[in-house]
Every structure is written in C-alpha cells, then in structure tokens.
C-alpha cells in the first residue's frame, strides 16, 4: 500500500523540482518501488541511486557528488535524518505505516490488521516545499546574498510557527474535512 496522496505529491512537486531517489535499499528493490510510484517515468526518470552506489551508507556524500555545482540547493525529503549528517536542507517527514499498529503484522495475522486512517501528511509537505521553492527564488530575484542553507533554516522556522497555529486551529475545527478544505482554500488563494 502506498501512502495516501503520493501521486498528487509527485505531480505537484515535479512542476517545481527535479526529483531523484536516493535509497539504502538494493537497486532491484528501488526499481520495483519506482515502478509503483512512477510507472511512466514522469517524475524520477532514471535518477535513482541505490546502496550499491552509496559507500558507507552516506547519502549526503553521494548527493554532493551528484550535484557538484550546487548540492546546497538540493532539498532532501526523508523520514530519517541519521544518514544525512545534519544536512540543513532536510525536510524530515513522519514515516508512514499502512497498519494502525505495526505489531499486528508480526503477531496478530490478517484478522487483527486494520488499515490506518487517511494520511494527508504529504499534502502539507508539498505545500511546505512549494513555499520553500518560492521563497528561495524570491530571495534570488532580489539578489540578496544568503546561503541556501541559511535561507532554508529561516523558512523552515517560519513554517513551524504556521504548523503550530494550524494545529491549534485544527483543535477548534472538529470536522477534519472542513479543516482541510479551509486550509486548501487559504493555500490556493495565497500560494497558487
């Protein structure tokens, strides 16, 4: 089972970013995953780096070699920060578990497995990344001399404040569908 909204996430972000897949899994496994995520090759093309090409499990070093003229302009999206060596341009996302309680997969068997509730996390992450992209080019259009890492840290701090406000707002709005429709309306009016 793929994460909810994964296709929309990839479609939207492909308009703003060139996407690559870096993984510590085998190439064969990674190709199978890409076949599910991107069967037409629209989003990733042949931009796949697997553990065979990643010495010592160091994605950050490989990424710097893959982008020698501007690795600092790269944004990494991952559910684990250990292998990125404190890369400032890392968007850490919550991992996705298909089952409500992963222990049931191991001990309970199919009778006790319940799919997780709808996960709209990728939608919020996509909007964060679009915001980062736009702010980055706003700064460069103004010819301001800030490093990408400095800019990224500032933007992510601003987004954390927005997320906390959204969490408080979510508590006030009991209906989750109503909450997301209000958020999307605001984002559409202000971002698109």
Q: What is the CATH number of the domain that holds 41?
A: 3.40.50.1000
- Give just the sign of the alpha carbon dihedral 34, 39, 43, 44: positive
pLDDT in the model for residue 40? 94
Whether residue 87 lies inside any domain: the answer is yes
Least confident interval from 18-32, 35-49, 98-112, 140-154: 98-112
pLDDT at 111 over 50: no
Tell me phi and psi for residue 191, to 5 degrees: -105, -45
Same domain, yes or no: 91 and 150? no
For 90, the 3-state DSSP assignment is strand
| Mean pLDDT, range 69-83, rounded to an integer | 76
Banded pLDDT at 22 (limits 50, 70, 90):
confident
**Mean pLDDT for the chain?**
74
Dihedral angle sign, alpha carbons of residues 148, 153, 158, 160: positive
pTM of the complete model beyond 0.85: no
Let me know if residue 78 belongs to a domain. yes
Question: Residue 49 pLDDT > 70, yes or no?
Answer: yes
Question: How are beta strands 90-92 and 48-49 bridged, if at all?
Answer: unpaired
The verdict on residue 40 lying in a domain is yes
Work out the percent of the chain whose per-residue pLDDT is above 90.
Answer: 10
| pLDDT value of position 38 | 93
For tokens 């605001």, the residue is 186
CA distance 2 to 132: 25
- According to the model, what pLDDT value does residue 192 have? 42
Structural domain count, the chain: 2
Domain region containing 157: 120-190
> Cα(192)–Cα(180) distance, rounded to whole angstroms?
16
């Amino acid at each position: 089972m793929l994460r909810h909204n994964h296709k929309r996430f990839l479609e939207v972000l492909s308009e703003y970013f060139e996407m690559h897949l870096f993984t510590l899994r085998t190439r064969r496994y990674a190709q199978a995953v890409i076949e599910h995520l991107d069967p037409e090759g629209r989003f990733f093309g042949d931009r796949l780096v697997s553990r065979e090409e990643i010495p010592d499990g160091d994605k950050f070093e490989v990424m710097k070699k893959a982008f020698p003229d501007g690795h600092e302009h790269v944004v990494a999206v991952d559910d684990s920060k250990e292998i990125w060596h404190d890369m400032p341009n890392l968007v850490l996302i919550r991992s996705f578990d298909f089952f409500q309680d992963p222990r049931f997969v191991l001990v309970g068997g199919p009778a006790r497995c319940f799919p997780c509730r709808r996960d709209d996390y990728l939608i919020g992450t996509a909007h964060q990344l679009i915001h980062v992209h736009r702010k980055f080019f706003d700064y460069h259009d103004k010819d301001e001399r800030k490093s990408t890492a400095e800019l990224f840290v500032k933007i992510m701090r601003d987004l954390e404040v927005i997320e906390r406000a959204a969490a408080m707002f979510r508590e006030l709005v009991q209906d989750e569908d109503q909450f997301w429709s209000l958020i999307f309306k605001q984002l559409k009016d202000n971002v698109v």
